[in-house]
Amino acid sequence: MVGLRITGIHILTAWSIKMVTIKDIAREAQVSEGTVDRVLHNRGGVSKQTETKIKAILKKHNFTINPVASALASKNKYHIAVLIPKFSDTDIFWKSPYMGIQKAAHDYRSFGIDVRFYRFDQYDSRSYENHFKALLRTTPSIVLVVPLFLKETKRFVGELEQQSIPYMFLNIDVQGFHNMTFIGQDSYTAGYLAGKLMHSIFSEDTNVLIIHSKHNTSVNQTVSKRIEGFTDFFAKQHFKNRPLILKIDAFNTSKETKAAITTFLKKHPKVKGLFIPSSRINIIVDCIAPALLKHYRMIGFDNTPKNIECLENESVSFLISQKPFDQGYESIQVMADYLLKKKIPNDKIYLPIDILTKENVKYNERNELLFEMGNL
C-alpha cells in the first residue's frame, strides 16, 4: 500500500489520575479517549457492553476525576468553524468527513472545543461565498476549509489572515496559500497508483480511458492531481498507448450522458480500462449497458455505498479509498492539539491510500460504521 499515516497525536486532558491516563484506559478497553470521557460523564452514546468494560477498567485502576483540573480546562473555550460541502443521497461522499468531524467534535467538547458547521452547495460558488461570509462574522478561533472554489477562497482566506485567524485545508490541497496544514490524500500518488493497478490488470500495453466531469477538474484540484498522476505513470513507462480522456458536463444518468459515453466507447473499441478519478464511478457503471460491462475493467475512488455495491458485483475492479471519515476526525484532532497545546502541525498530513477489492471492502472504515451504530 502507498501512503503515510500520521500517528501519535495526543490531546491535552484535564484529568488527574493515579498511574494511568485516559489514553491508557482507552487503549486497554480498545476504544477512543472520547468514549472513555462519555462514560466518565454519563453522557450516553456508548453500548452497554462497552460501558461495562470501561467501568471495570476504571475501577481496577482506581481512576478518579480531578475536579480542579476539569474546572480549569472548562474556562478555555475555542470555536472551530468548518466550511464543508453538503451531501445528498445521490452525491454522498461528503457524509463521511462530516461524520468524522462530528465524532471528533463530540470527543473534544469537554475540553472547551466548540465546532460549528457551515455547509455549502458544492456546485454553487455563491453558496460557498455566503457561508464563508457567515463564518467570518463569528470570529472563530480557527477555520477548517474545503477549498472548492479557488477565486473565492483566495478572497476570503485573505480576510482570515487580516484577522490573524489560522486556517487549514481539508481533502483538497491547493497551492499558494498560508494554510497551517493540509489533511487528506496525496492525490497525485493515488492517481499514479491507479495507473499501476490498471496496468497490472492487463498483460500488455492497452487502451485506457479517463472519464471525468468538466465541473470537477475546473474547481477540484484533487481530481486534477489524480489525473496527472495516472497519466504520468503511463508516460514514464513509455507505453505506446497513452490514456484517452472523455470530459462530460456532469455525472448523472441522463440520456445525454449515457449517449456521450456510449458514442465514445463505440468510436474507440480497443478501450479496455476505464479510470474515473472521483467518487462517482457508480454513475458511469449505470451509463453502460449491463451486457457491455464485462468488456471493461474499471477503477474509481471512495467507498460510498453505491460504489461498494459496484465493487461487490464486480462491475468495478478496484476502489481507492482516501479515508474520508478519518480525514474529518483527524482535522479536528490536529486543530485541538494546536489550540490546547500550541502544537504546530506538519505542512502536509497525508492519510493512507487504501486499495479496496471485493474481498476486503467490508473491513474498511470500521470506525465510521461503529460511529453510525452509536458504538464509538
Q: Is the pLDDT of residue 5 over 60?
A: no
* Yes or no: domain 75-185+323-353 corresponds to CATH 3.40.50.2300: yes
User: Which segments within 229-303 are labelled E, that is strand?
Assistant: 244-248, 271-275, 297-301
Quick check: 161 and 195 in contact, CB under 8 A?
A: no
Specify which of 5-19, 210-224, 335-349 reaches the highest per-range mean pLDDT: 335-349
Name the phi and psi angles at 115, rounded to 5. Answer: -105, 125
Residue 359: Cβ-neighbour burial (10 angstroms; 0-12, 13-18, 19+): exposed
Q: Which amino acid is at 77?
A: K
Tens of pLDDT, residues 83-126: 999 998 878 889 999 999 999 999 999 889 999 999 999 989 99
pLDDT band at 349 (very low <50, low <70, confident <90, very high): very high
Q: Is the pLDDT of residue 351 over 60?
A: yes
More confident residue, 9 or 156: 156
What would the grid cell of residue 68 be? 480542579
Q: In terms of CATH architecture, what is 187-321?
A: 3-Layer(aba) Sandwich (3.40)
| Least confident segment among 46-50, 250-254, 338-342 | 250-254
Can you give the pLDDT at residue 347? 94
Q: Is the pLDDT of residue 360 over 80?
A: yes
Return all residues near 154 (Cβ < 8 A) that are at least 6 apart. 176, 177
What would the grid cell of residue 182 be? 493540509
Average pLDDT on 363-369 reads: 65
C-alpha 73/C-alpha 64 separation (Å) is 16
Can you give the pLDDT at residue 43? 65
What would the grid cell of residue 218 be? 475546473
Sketch the domain layout of the chain as residue ranges.
Answer: 22-64, 75-185+323-353, 187-321
pTM as predicted = 0.75
